[in-house]
Each structure stands twice: as structure tokens, then as C-alpha cells.
């Protein structure tokens, strides 16, 4: 049954035999109406895409005699097994590649309609179903919210919970199988206005591939396809799995892998038996969840034999609107209580952005009396700016097929070790014979046409311009076609601060392709107020792909806000947002002139475990006459710091996914932990440096998906500096004087308000994803999201460091550490305002003494914007 047209029981009455139980429902196969629905639900085909020359198309509505829509009515071509089911408005769409002359419309308790079809295309038909009196004494009406007690559907659900651990691959010590995956993107809602628009003038040939979706009934134009053939190996004894890519074929754009990794992260593998299913970084309540009884209504609808196993059909739909839920149905076996088929459609009112619809279909294969394994997955999302029915969007589809399961064939444990580099050029250059043997289903006419259409499209100048514009907005760089050079990043062109005034920046990087083994980058900037040029140049080179051995270095002379974060960036050209803010809560004049030269080597011997050894030499001096970095020396007061520093760090990112194989890669996900440890050593004996010291820093960042409660982001940082150092080398508790919400900073602290040589800080931020607001009637329709936060820091500073930095300069900053008690802030925010804006209300919890801290900011408002699902 089509997910788009799954039964929707909001107010529409539903019928099933009185006092039905699991055992007595086996008798339902004798009922003519149930027999019809059995044949339909077994053979309804969701999967695949219909050819352009479909022979019969029908759409319309089904009403009862009171002109009320009949949801979940069966509509089938007469003499066939091709059909669909009406949606909550009684609407349906049905088409076939064959010619049919009749239509059957039926629903339990109503007389069956036999409608002749005189034309191949029949749109906006209207059918009226009449009640069948003989059926009324056998059934009772079920509507709205379903009971939790004495409900045979929920009785079945409890048996599913009891048996779920016995189903699937976990029954074996080892397993392996073939996997074929197909990803496709389509522009949908194609009409004559779009075809004739100026945007596509000169590219009209594209629309020869326009087709109609069997899931939604909308026209669409395929624009991208990727195929992958893999062999998957797993060992439950050591809890490891490995996916070996055998072949990959795509429609030819240079950034295809980024798109593929993006879609795979959005459509991450899921287990329908889990309590929550994660899509688009949101946790949807599974209809098989143990909390499902409080989230969904369940109706026992049907029963029949599927693959010689007696199965029951259960329909489910949400109890409330605006929650992350689905509607749909599933078939479950009566002895093993394993799922045979399941269909899910995200609720229209679900609090998720840029996605109008989500369709998911999963089919299982029976291997023996007790084992059901995934046979096929189909997922489709309709990406759009709004959820209006006629709005255009992009279909993102992923079809996955599984075959040739084998079990209990152990492999050496080393086989499962994840390789840091596993790029095989031959995998991406398989011939047609390979795909003929390894495709688990043939491409249809439209899918085959995508390759040819895109090859032609890439020769059209207008398309090239549109494609390049999209690339510029996505990457921030402008490509020069005649040179291996990119200009940018364009978003850093303009800046402002109290020292430089208006700042203009120009920059460029080498770029032969996204998997370049080396890259050079540089910039030149000018401040109109200080009338000075700044510049920077850096380079990096990937020497060994397998261990990702990288050597990097560079030099930068610039003006920067030091202390914007506790851990400094490893990017020699990196510059904090605090260094250029147009408006803020206070003067942005505590800036430092920095001359930094660095050299480093990096190694990733095991995936996501990175070792880095580096050295840098820097000179620091105040960039503003109202800010002092002066410190005492035996010979007097010095204003400039000259320091060589060596660093060794270890970073670990469990479950991080990266895309690309070059010296620079992109993250494909953000829901992973980040562990970082670094030791820095300042050596006075090298390069005429000024200080000896050792600095130790540790940090741990962890996002937590909490199911229906949303997402919690946590971070903890600790550090200590051993030795006497000036202000420029101490640890500044990061303040935030901008009006932007910046994670891991303190919104109510000014720059340099707290300085320490020993510190510990924490940041907790929880996004409920609208769970609370969705229960408030007048707020529900806005799909707002509530955020709460708590952040704190403790620090100390030695008397020796205070004495070192205490001079007679009137601009010297008094060094104060939050050592009396933990400084803390708390706040709450409202996100998803017009889908892109977020406002945070921040409160300072302590250190509010009017004498000691006369300028302390008790309350502040910050905000941010971004495109989030």
C-alpha cells in the first residue's frame, strides 16, 4: 500500500468485527472484503518509477452518502493486482504501464463499485460509496483515539516487543550479504509554467525525461543518480561490521560523493524495532517503540497468508499533531511476531524543516520458521521550502536491496579493522558487464536516461553558469576555469573592528580537484583605520594516503582577538569571529597584532585517531593604544612577546564520517564525540624566546540523542599552565561581546574579564525540538523549538603570574580568575523562528557585585541563523 495514501483515522469511522481476537481473526479470510484487501496489500507496489508512457492513469476522490471522504478505501484496476488506497481526504492516484478498462472501489461496510474506464487518462473522478446493510450487524465503529486496553492490535504489539531480539542477523555469530544501493534526486511538480520559464530556456530537452511518481502522483524530472554495489561482513561476537565497496557509478558531477555521503547520513540505516528512528538528525518515535502506545493509535485491520505464513495487518497513526511521528501500517507474522512488511510516512505536521514528506518502505524475507531478514528498503523525501501541496521541491530517493545471505563463516579479526584510506580507482570504473551481474534490479527507462541527459546538460553554457553559481554559494569560493585556482572565501571579504575599522580581504587557494594531495592558500587584507596591510600564506601536503601523513606550515601577520576560545585553532590562517564584529555589547578594542609561523606533521594511523606534532614561533603585541600586553622583566617593562612553542596533541573522533580522500576532507555527519588532549611546551632557549612553560589541555565534546526528548550537546574543558607567563600566553575564559550565539563561549562575559592559568569549564545545551511547544495550542502551529542552556567555569591564577603582569600602564588589565566560586550562566532560547532564526535569552548567575564588577552584564539577548532540519 502506498505510504502517501496510508489510512488516516482522524475522524473517519473504521470497521472490524466485534470482539475480534488474534485467533478468531483467522476466520476473516472467508470474508470477501478482507480477501480483496489481502490481495491488494500483498501486491501493491511502491518501488520503482513509472515510465513516461504509462497506459492508464486515474485520480479522484471517494465519498460516502453524506459527502464525507472515505479514508483507506481500496482502489484497484479491475482484473489486476495493481491498486492504491485513499488518503485522509479520500483522495487517490493510480496509474499502470498497461491498459485497463475498469476500476474497483471498495471499503468494509460499503457496497463495491465497478467503474468502467473509457479513456486511458481519467482525472478528478468522484465516487460515492453506499452502506451495505448486511455488514452493519457484524461490525462496530472505531474512530479517533483507540483504546489501550482490550485492543487486539496492542496485544500483538506486546508480543512483537517480547520477540524482537530473536529476529534478524543477531541470531548468528557471523553474517555476510550482497547489498545494492541506488540514490536518485528529482525535481518534482513539473508543469508547463516551469518548462516555459526563462530559467530553462535552451535546456528544454531535459523535460523529455519527465515522469509521474507512483507514490505521490506528482510529475518529476530525474537529475542525479548514483549506484553502489557492496559486500557486507559482520561478526556479532566482536560487534564489528565492514562494508566492502565493489562498484560505484554515478551521473558525473565532480562533487557527487559529497551528495551521496550527505544523503546516506540523512537516511542512515535504521532498525524498525528500535524505540526511535533517526532521520535528518531528528528522533522519530518508531511505531514498534515500547512508548508507542502513548504516541500512536493502533487498529488491527486484516490478516492473510504471506509467503505461507499467517500475518496480521496493523494500522497506526499519531495521537497528537506536531510531534516527530509516522502514520502507516505493518504486517506481522503470528508465531514469530517478526515484521514482514512495514510502511511509514512522516506526519504532515511533524516539526521538521525543508522536508515536506518522508516515505519509508521496508520489506523482509523469510529464510526459515523463525528468521526474517531485510530484503528491500525504499526511502523518499520531498525537500521543499514549504509544505504547501503545490510547492515545488526535490525528491531524494534511496533504494537498497539485500541478497545472498550467508551465516557463521568466521573471518580473521584483523579483517574488520577500518582502513583510514580505502580508495580504489577501479571501483569507480566498472564496465557494463559488472553492473549487469551485480544490479539486484534493472534500471527503468528513466533511470537509464539520466546518464545521457546529464552528459548533454553539462555541455550547455547556461547550465554551467547555474551550476557554478550554486557551487560558489555552497563552498564560498569562485572557480577560475582556466586556472587551478579558486578565489575566496568570499564571505570573509568584509569585516570591522575598533582597531582596523573597515577591513577588506582578498584570498585564493589552489584547486585541481576535491581530492588534491596538496593545497596552497593565502590572503591579503587591509584596514582603513590603522592603514595597515595583513597577509597570510599556508600549505599542506598529503604524503601518505593510507596513514594520512600530512605536513603543513605557513605564516600569518594579522590582527586577532586572542582568548575567543580556550583551545587555539591548528589552522595557521584561522581567525575567530570575535576579531571582526560590526556591532557588539562593548568596544572591540582588546586586539593583538600577531606574527605567527608554524610547521606541523599529522598522522592518522587508525581511523579517526589523529596525532599531531607541531612547532610555532610567534610575536605578540597590542594592536590598540587602549589595550596593554605589558609585563615585567628584570630589565624593565616589555610590550612584545616572542615565543617558540612545540605542541603534541591527540584527537579522537569515534563514529565520525568523512568524505573525500585528499589532503582536505569534509565531515559527513556531526553527531559524534570529540576527545582532545594537548601538551604545549614553551622553550626559552630556542629562537630567543622569552618564557619557559608547559601547558596541558583536555577537552571532551559529546552530542547525545535523547529520543523524543531531543538532543543534548555537552562539552567539558580543563587545562593548566605550569610556569610564569604574560597575559598573551595565559588562558582567557572566552567571553562573547557580539550579538551572535556562539557555542563554548560565555555570552555575559567581556573579553579578558576572567583570566587564569588553571581552569575547568562546562557547557550544556539541550534542544527539545519542539516537544514542549507542540503541547501548547496557540504555539503549536508555529513549529518553534525550545532550547535551555547552562554553562560555567572555574579558574585560578597564581600570585607569580599576577605580579608578572602588573605594570604602571593605565591600560593594563587586572587579572581576575573565577576562583571564589564557579562562574555560571543559564539561558533559554526559541529556535526555528521562520525556520532559520534563533533567539537566546542569557542570564548571568553570579559575580554581580556592583563594586567589584560594576560593568557586569546581568542579562543579554543573542541570536543566530542557519538552515537546520
Q: 448: helix, coil or strand? A: helix
C-alpha–C-alpha distance, residues 119 and 508, integer Å = 62
Q: How high is the pLDDT of residue 5?
A: 33
Q: How high is the pLDDT of residue 531?
A: 93
Domain shared by 67 and 184, yes or no: no
What is the Cβ-side half-sphere exposure of residue 701, based on CA atoms within 13 angstroms? Answer: 14
* Cell numbers found for residue 641: 612577546
Q: How high is the pLDDT of residue 320?
A: 82
Q: How high is the pLDDT of residue 23?
A: 39
**283, 277 Cβ separation under 8 angstroms:** yes
Q: How high is the pLDDT of residue 677?
A: 96
Whether 339 maps to a domain, the answer reads: yes
Domain shared by 197 and 96, yes or no: no
**Is 459 exposed, middle or buried, given 0-12, 13-18 or 19+ CB atoms closer than 10 A?**
exposed
Domain shared by 424 and 481, yes or no: no
Whether 848 maps to a domain, the answer reads: yes
Instruction: Classify strands 518-527 and 549-560 as parallel, antiparallel or unpaired.
Output: unpaired
Q: 544: helix, coil or strand? A: strand
Domain shared by 401 and 541, yes or no: no
Q: 850: helix, coil or strand? A: coil
Domain shared by 222 and 131, yes or no: no
Show Cβ contacts of residue 192 under 8 Å, excluding neighbours closer than 6 positions: none
φ/ψ of 200, rounded to 5, equals -105, 15
Domain shared by 199 and 238, yes or no: yes
Dump pLDDT digits (tens) for 97-148: 778 888 888 776 678 888 888 887 888 888 888 876 544 333 333 445 677 7
Q: How high is the pLDDT of residue 177?
A: 94
Q: How high is the pLDDT of residue 263?
A: 62
Q: How high is the pLDDT of residue 615?
A: 95
Listed residue (385, 794, 345, 766) closest to 566, CA to CA = 794
- In the structure, how many helices (H) and strands (E) does the chain have? 10, 46
Domain shared by 295 and 243, yes or no: yes
Q: 89: helix, coil or strand? A: coil
Q: How high is the pLDDT of residue 563?
A: 79
Q: At 764, which CATH number?
A: 2.40.160.50
C-alpha–C-alpha distance, residues 476 and 459, integer Å = 24
C-alpha–C-alpha distance, residues 262 and 681, integer Å = 40
Residue that is last in its domain, among 109, 144, 179: 144
* Cell numbers found for residue 841: 535569552
Domain shared by 746 and 778, yes or no: yes
**Is 467 exposed, middle or buried, given 0-12, 13-18 or 19+ CB atoms closer than 10 A?**
middle
**611, 650 Cβ separation under 8 angstroms:** yes
Dump pLDDT digits (tens) for 527-579: 999 999 999 999 999 999 889 999 999 999 999 888 778 777 778 887 776 66
Q: At 68, which CATH number?
A: 2.60.40.1120
Neighbours of 423 (CB within 10 A): 14
Residue 24: DSSP 8-state: G
Range of 235's domain?
A: 161-457
φ/ψ of 582, rounded to 5, equals -70, -45
Show Cβ contacts of residue 109 under 8 Å, excluding neighbours closer than 6 positions: 15, 131, 132, 135, 136, 139
C-alpha–C-alpha distance, residues 807 and 636, integer Å = 10
Q: Please tell me the total number of residues recorded for the chain in this structure.
A: 869
The number of distinct structural domains making up the chain is 3
List the alpha helices (DSSP H) in 389-521.
Answer: 432-438, 445-457, 461-475
Which residues face 717 on adjacent strands?
699, 761
Whether 45 maps to a domain, the answer reads: yes
C-alpha–C-alpha distance, residues 752 and 817, integer Å = 10
| pTM exceeds cut of 0.75 | no
Domain shared by 423 and 485, yes or no: no
Whether 101 maps to a domain, the answer reads: yes
C-alpha–C-alpha distance, residues 92 and 76, integer Å = 11
Which residues face 103 on adjacent strands?
77, 115
Radius of gyration of the chain (CA): 32
Which residues face 682 on adjacent strands?
645, 693
Q: How high is the pLDDT of residue 421?
A: 67
Whether 464 maps to a domain, the answer reads: no
Whether 96 maps to a domain, the answer reads: yes
Domain shared by 391 and 481, yes or no: no
Q: How high is the pLDDT of residue 144?
A: 57
* Cell numbers found for residue 859: 542579562
**DSSP E strands, 108-197:** 113-116, 121-129, 139-142, 174-188
- C-alpha angle with apex 401: 399 to 407, nearest 5 degrees? 150
Alpha carbon distances (Å) from 328 to 6, 146, 299, 334: 5, 15, 11, 20
C-alpha–C-alpha distance, residues 254 and 264, integer Å = 18
Dump pLDDT digits (tens) for 256-303: 556 666 666 666 677 888 888 888 777 888 999 888 888 899 988 778
Q: 610: helix, coil or strand? A: strand
Ranges under pLDDT 70 in the chain: 1-55, 72, 81, 108-109, 132-145, 164-167, 204, 252-268, 368-370, 420-421, 577-587
Whether 463 maps to a domain, the answer reads: no
**211, 50 Cβ separation under 8 angstroms:** yes
Whether 809 maps to a domain, the answer reads: yes
Residue 209: DSSP 8-state: G
Which residues face 517 on adjacent strands?
none
* Cell numbers found for residue 458: 553539462
Residue in the block written with cell 565497496: 245
Q: How high is the pLDDT of residue 15?
A: 34
Q: How high is the pLDDT of residue 8?
A: 30
φ/ψ of 687, rounded to 5, equals 55, 35
Domain shared by 666 and 811, yes or no: yes
Domain shared by 420 and 495, yes or no: no
**DSSP E strands, 215-266:** 219-235, 240-250
**303, 311 Cβ separation under 8 angstroms:** yes
Amino acid at each position: 500500500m502506498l505510504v502517501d495514501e496510508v489510512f488516516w483515522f482522524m475522524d473517519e469511522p473504521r470497521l472490524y468485527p466485534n470482539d475480534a481476537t488474534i485467533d478468531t481473526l483467522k476466520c476473516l479470510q472467508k470474508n470477501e472484503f478482507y480477501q480483496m484487501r489481502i490481495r491488494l496489500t500483498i501486491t501493491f507496489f511502491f518501488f520503482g518509477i513509472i515510465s513516461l508512457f504509462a497506459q492508464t492513469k486515474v485520480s479522484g476522490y471517494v465519498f460516502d452518502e453524506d459527502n464525507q471522504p472515505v479514508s483507506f478505501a481500496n482502489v484497484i484496476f479491475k482484473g489486476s493486482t495493481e491498486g492504491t488506497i485513499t488518503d485522509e481526504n479520500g483522495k487517490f492516484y493510480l496509474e499502470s504501464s498497461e491498459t485497463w478498462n475498469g476500476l474497483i472501489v471498495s471499503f468494509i461496510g460499503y457496497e463495491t463499485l465497478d467503474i468502467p474506464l473509457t479513456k486511458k487518462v481519467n482525472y478528478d473522478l468522484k465516487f460515492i460509496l453506499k452502506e451495505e446493510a448486511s455488514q452493519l450487524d457484524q461490525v462496530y465503529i472505531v474512530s479517533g483515539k483507540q483504546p489501550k486496553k482490550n485492543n487486539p492490535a496492542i496485544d500483538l504489539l506486546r508480543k512483537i516487543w517480547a520477540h524482537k531480539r530473536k529476529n534478524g542477523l543477531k541470531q548468528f555469530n557471523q553474517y555476510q550479504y550482497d547489498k545494492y544501493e541506488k540514490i536518485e534526486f528529482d525535481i518534482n511538480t513539473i508543469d508547463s509554467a516551469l518548462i516555459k520559464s526563462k530559467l530553462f530556456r535552451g535546456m528544454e530537452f531535459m523535460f523529455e525525461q519527465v515522469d509521474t511518481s507512483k507514490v505521490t502522483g506528482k510529475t518529476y524530472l530525474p537529475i542525479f543518480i548514483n549506484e553502489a554495489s557492496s559486500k557486507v561482513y559482520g561478526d556479532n561476537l566482536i560487534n564489528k561490521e565492514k562494508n566492502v565497496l565493489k562498484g560505484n557509478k554515478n551521473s558525473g558531477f565532480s562533487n557527487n560523493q559529497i551528495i551521496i555521503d550527505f544523503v546516506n547520513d540523512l537516511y542512515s540505516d535504521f532498525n524498525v524495532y528500535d524505540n526511535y528512528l533517526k532521520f535528518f538528525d531528528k528522533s522519530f518515535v518508531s511505531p514498534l517503540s515500547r512508548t508507542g502506545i502513548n504516541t500512536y493509535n493502533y487498529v488491527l485491520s486484516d490478516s492473510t497468508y504471506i509467503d505461507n505464513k499467517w500475518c496480521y495487518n496493523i494500522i497506526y497513526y499519531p495521537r497528537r499533531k506536531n510531534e516527530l511521528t509516522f502514520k502507516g501500517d505493518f504486517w506481522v507474522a503470528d508465531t514469530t511476531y517478526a515484521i514482514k512488511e512495514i510502511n511509514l510516512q512522516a506526519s504532515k505536521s511533524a516539526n521538521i524543516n525543508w522536508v515536506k514528506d518522508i516515505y519509508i518502505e521496508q520489506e523482509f524475507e523469510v529464510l526459515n520458521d523463525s528468521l526474517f531478514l531485510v530484503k528491500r528498503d525504499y526511502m523518499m523525501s520531498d525537500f521543499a521550502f514549504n509544505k504547501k501541496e503545490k510547492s515545488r521541491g526535490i525528491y531524494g530517493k534511496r533504494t537498497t536491496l539485500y541478497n545472498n545471505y550467508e551465516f557463521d563463516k568466521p573471518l580473521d579479526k584483523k579483517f574488520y579493522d577500518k582502513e583510514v584510506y580505502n580508495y580504489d580507482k577501479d571501483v569507480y570504473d566498472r564496465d557494463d558487464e559488472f553492473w549487469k551481474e551485480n544490479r539486484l534490479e534493472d534500471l527503468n527507462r528513466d533511470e537509464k536516461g539520466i546518464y545521457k541527459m546529464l552528459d548533454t546538460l553539462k555541455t550547455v553554457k547556461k547550465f554551467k553558469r547555474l551550476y557554478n553559481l550554486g557551487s560558489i554559494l555552497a563552498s564560498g569560493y569562485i572557480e577560475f576555469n582556466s586556472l587551478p585556482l579558486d578565489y575566496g572565501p568570499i564571505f570573509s571579504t568584509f569585516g570591522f573592528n575598533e582597531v582596523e575599522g573597515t577591513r577588506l580581504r582578498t584570498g585564493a587557494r589552489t584547486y585541481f580537484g576535491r581530492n588534491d594531495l596538496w593545497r596552497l592558500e593565502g590572503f591579503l587584507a587591509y584596514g582603513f583605520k590603522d592603514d595597515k596591510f595583513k597577509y597570510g600564506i599556508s600549505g599542506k601536503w598529503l604524503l601518505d594516503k593510507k596513514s594520512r601523513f600530512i605536513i603543513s606550515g605557513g605564516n600569518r601577520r594579522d590582527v586577532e582577538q586572542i582568548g575567543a576560545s580556550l583551545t587555539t585553532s591548528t589552522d595557521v590562517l584561522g581567525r575567530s569571529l570575535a576579531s571582526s564584529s560590526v556591532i557588539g555589547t562593548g568596544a572591540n578594542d582588546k586586539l593583538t597584532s600577531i606574527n605567527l609561523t608554524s610547521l606541523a606533521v599529522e598522522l592518522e594511523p587508525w581511523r579517526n585517531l589523529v596525532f599531531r606534532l607541531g612547532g610555532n614561533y610567534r610575536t605578540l603585541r597590542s594592536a590598540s593604544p587602549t589595550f596593554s600586553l605589558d609585563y615585567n622583566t628584570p630589565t624593565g617593562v616589555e610590550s612584545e612577546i616572542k615565543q617558540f612553542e612545540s605542541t603534541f596533541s591527540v584527537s579522537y573522533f569515534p563514529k565520525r564520517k568523512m568524505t573525500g580522500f585528499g589532503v582536505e576532507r569534509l565531515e559527513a555527519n556531526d553527531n559524534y564525540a570529540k576527545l582532545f588532549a594537548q601538551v604545549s611546551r614553551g622553550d626559552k632557549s630556542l629562537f630567543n624566546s622569552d618564557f619557559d612553560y608547559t601547558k596541558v589541555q583536555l577537552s571532551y565534546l559529546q552530542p547525545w540523542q535523547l529520543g523524543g526528548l531531543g538532543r543534548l550537546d555537552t562539552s567539558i574543558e580543563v587545562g593548566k599552565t605550569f610556569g610564569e607567563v604574560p597575559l598573551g600566553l595565559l588562558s582567557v575564559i572566552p567571553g562573547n561581546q557580539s550579538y551572535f550565539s556562539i557555542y563554548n563561549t560565555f555570552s555575559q562575559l567581556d573579553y579578558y574579564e576572567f583570566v587564569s592559568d588553571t581552569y575547568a569549564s562546562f557547557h550544556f545545551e539541550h534542544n527539545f525540538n519542539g516537544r514542549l511547544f507542540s503541547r501548547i495550542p496557540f504555539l503549536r502551529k508555529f513549529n518553534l523549538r525550545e532550547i535551555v542552556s547552562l554553562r560555567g567555569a572555574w579558574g585560578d591564577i597564581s600570585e607569580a603570574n599576577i605580579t608578572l603582569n602588573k605594570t604602571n600602564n593605565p591600560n593594563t588589565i587586572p587579572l581576575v580568575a573565577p576562583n571564589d566560586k564557579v562562574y555560571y550562566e543559564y539561558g533559554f532560547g526559541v529556535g526555528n523562528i521562520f525556520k532559520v532564526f534563533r533567539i537566546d535569552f542569557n542570564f548571568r548567575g553570579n559575580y554581580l557585585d556592583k563594586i567589584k564588577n560594576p560593568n557586569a552584564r546581568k542579562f543579554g539577548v543573542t541570536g543566530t541563523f542557519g538552515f537546520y532540519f
